């Protein structure tokens, strides 16, 4: 259980309901993927479950399974789109672990040797860059 109750007005719940914009790359019945607006590396993408749940312990197993399967699919596209040598998947549970948005999500971070990660949730990228990066991921997903 997380320390606080699930807030249905958290930023990702608003994105799911279409009340907040996002640079979307993938959507299905159970999951949604979009660019992180404060990327730690170019191509930093998030996958969220559509079901409410602050973290992995609060979410039903079926929703968690859908989220990790979408993460695998989108991570392959991100790897291709950003010509990455590796891909890091991160998922934080609780503020003590660094979680800042309390709706289950996986981080997809394309990695290349010698390129360090930026700070977590620190610096906003510009909209033009995020849209260009989202287009690259969408194109890679379309290519299979």
Q: Which residues bind ligand AMP (CB under 6 A)?
A: 11, 20, 22, 34, 36-38, 46, 92, 98-101, 120-121
Retrieve residue 17's tokens.
Answer: 């309901």
49-60 exposure pattern, b = at least 16 Cβ within 10 A, e = fewer: bbbbbbbbebbe
Q: State the catalytic residue, choosing from 44, 105, 107, 133.
A: 105
Please identify, using beta-carbon distances, which residue of 69 and 90 lies nearer to ligand AMP. 90
Give Cα separations from 4 to 1, 68, 96 (angstroms).
8, 24, 12
Q: How far is the CB of 86 from ligand AMP (least distance, A)?
A: 19
Of 38 and 76, which CB lies nearer to ligand AMP in the complex structure? 38
For the question of residue 105 being annotated catalytic, the response is yes
Distance in Å, CB of 83 to ligand AMP, minimum = 22
Our CB check for ligand AMP shows the closer of 13 and 77 to be 13
Please state, in angstroms and rounded to a whole number, the distance separating the CA atoms of residues 91 and 103.
Answer: 11
> In degrees rounded to 5, what are phi and psi of residue 126?
-80, 155
> Minimum distance from CB of 63 to ligand AMP (Å)?
17
Instruction: Catalogue the E-assigned strands of the chain.
Output: 24-27, 31-35, 45-49, 86-90, 105-111
Indicate which residues carry an active-site annotation: 105
């Amino acid at each position: 259980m997380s320390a606080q109750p699930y807030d249905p007005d958290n930023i990702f719940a608003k994105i799911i309901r279409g009340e907040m914009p996002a640079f979307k790359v993938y959507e299905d019945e159970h999951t949604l993927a979009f660019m992180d607006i404060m990327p730690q590396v170019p191509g930093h993408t998030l996958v969220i479950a559509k079901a409410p749940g602050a973290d992995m312990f609060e979410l039903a197993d079926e929703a968690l399974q859908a989220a990790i399967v979408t993460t695998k699919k989108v991570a392959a596209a991100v790897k291709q789109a950003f010509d990455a040598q590796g891909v890091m998947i991160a998922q934080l549970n609780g503020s003590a672990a660094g979680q800042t948005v309390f709706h289950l999500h996986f981080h997809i971070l394309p990695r290349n040797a010698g390129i360090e990660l930026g700070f977590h949730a620190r610096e906003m990228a510009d909209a033009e860059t995020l849209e260009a990066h989202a287009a690259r991921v969408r194109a890679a997903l379309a290519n299979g």
